[in-house]
Amino acid sequence: MPLALLALAVGAFGIGTTEFVMMGLLPDVAADLHISLPSAGHLVSAYALGVVIGAPLLAAVTARMGRRTLLMSLMGLFVAGNALSALAPGYDWLLAARFLSGLPHGAFFGVGAVVATNLVAPERKARSVSLMFLGLTVANIAGVPAATLMGQHLGWRATFLGVSAIGLAAIASLALLIPRHMAGSPAAGLRGELAALKSLPVWLALGTTVAGFGALFSAYSYITPMLTDAAGYADSSVTLLLALFGVGATIGNLLGGRLADHAMRRTLFGGLVALALVLALFPLLMTTRWGGALAVVLLGVAAFVAGTPLNLMVLEKAASGPSLASSANQAAFNLANAGGAWLGGLTLAAGFGVTSPASAGAVLATLGLAMAAVAYGVDRRRAATGVAGRERIVATHVPQQAEALHH
């Protein structure tokens, strides 16, 4: 695998760290800025909103920019957002800075996935994407805990300065390692990128992402009360257990990349089936401590086995203009985050029990599997129609050619 994937992984590590570290710093930020904890929670939402808006918007307005230059520019915006977060004089400024930090997130991963697949042979595309996203999963194991500890001991502002330094390292890595031939403008342009979004299979692929990863976030958003109230863990153990989720996600990411290179569709279907089964077993697994720990690891493995084929599915359906569709898929992941958390919250509010969000997630994973099956059926019908059309053309023209030769 080319070293350029390392540069993409460094950027992914920084983005993953800044996305998730805010959850651990909320009490410190709230106390320092003299705001309530729910108000501090809006800082998480501001980042997610930036991702959803920025992913398709930045991909569209930069459609003619060379991908190497674009990736470096997106990381520059990331550095600026985190530096402004560290220097924010008050809550409103921090809210705006978090929104700015989220803007380049989706476009970086979307364009990065296109670059990663162009760096390798076709039979290694899935592994190249999984290696880029390895930075994101490793951030959950090492980056987020380290950044949280830094914030608790040196102040939350130091955390965002540290993340800015990671962004600068990513820019240097991209400049050194991304091949120069990727400095040119993509052939598709804005019109080609927009045309790719008119395809029904692309929207079915995006819908599969929303439902499939909505299943993950339906459960993961409420994993702490499940571990403490159902499995019996102390609050102090939750951080270690969440690191176990990162280990599972890393294993699933690498496994999914390797399997998807051999059988992309079967890997996607298998990952979604595994995710539905794991979530359906949550009420049983969460009755013991060892079962709770196992559930957290299996959740990470199953979800991220499906992650790489979900990204490749969109790239495959939007081959004529992949950057915008791939960036839109990153927005779909964040819609899954918000939608899954909302649905899980509804089950809790309805009084179905602390593990009920996982059951709702199992339903969402099944819905994602159904959408993937529909997308597969549409592909088969289009392929059959194309073959039939070519056969009709041959049947029409061959007799005419024979008659012409006879005369």
Distance (Å) of CA 250 to CA 239, 253, 336 = 17, 5, 20
Q: How far, in Å, CA of 94 to CA of 288, rounded?
A: 41
The tens place of each residue's pLDDT in the chain, 407 residues long, gives 678 899 999 999 999 888 878 877 777 888 888 887 677 778 877 888 888 888 888 888 887 788 888 999 999 999 999 999 999 999 999 999 999 999 999 889 888 888 888 888 888 888 888 888 888 888 878 888 888 888 888 888 999 999 999 999 999 999 999 887 765 555 556 677 777 777 888 888 899 999 998 999 888 888 888 888 898 888 778 778 888 888 999 999 999 988 988 888 899 999 999 999 999 999 999 999 999 999 999 999 999 999 888 888 888 777 767 778 888 888 888 888 878 888 888 888 888 988 999 999 999 999 999 999 998 888 778 777 764 444 344 444 444 444 444 44
Cβ atoms of residues 17 and 144 within 8 Å: yes
Q: Which amino acid is at 252?
A: G
Helix (H, G, I), strand (E, B) or coil at 93: helix
User: What is residue 184's predicted lDDT score, i.e. its pLDDT?
Assistant: 53
- What does the pLDDT read at residue 391? 37
Tokens describing residue 376: 């597969």
- Whether the CB-CB separation of 208 and 215 falls below 8 Å is answered with no
In the chain, the domains with their CATH numbers are 1-186 (1.20.1250.20), 196-407 (1.20.1250.20)
Q: Rounded CA gap, 136 and 37, in Å?
A: 26
Q: Is the backbone of residue 234 left (phi > 0), alpha (psi -120 to 50) or beta?
A: beta
First to last CA, the chain: 60
Query: Residue 323's pLDDT is what?
Result: 76
Cβ atoms < 10 Å from Cβ of 2: 15
Per-residue pLDDT at 1: 64
The whole-angstrom separation of Cα 372 and Cα 79 is 37
Best CA proximity match to 279, nearest among 225, 331, 216, 211:
216
Distance separating alpha carbons of residues 73 and 36, to the nearest angstrom = 35
CA pair distance 300, 223, nearest whole angstrom: 12
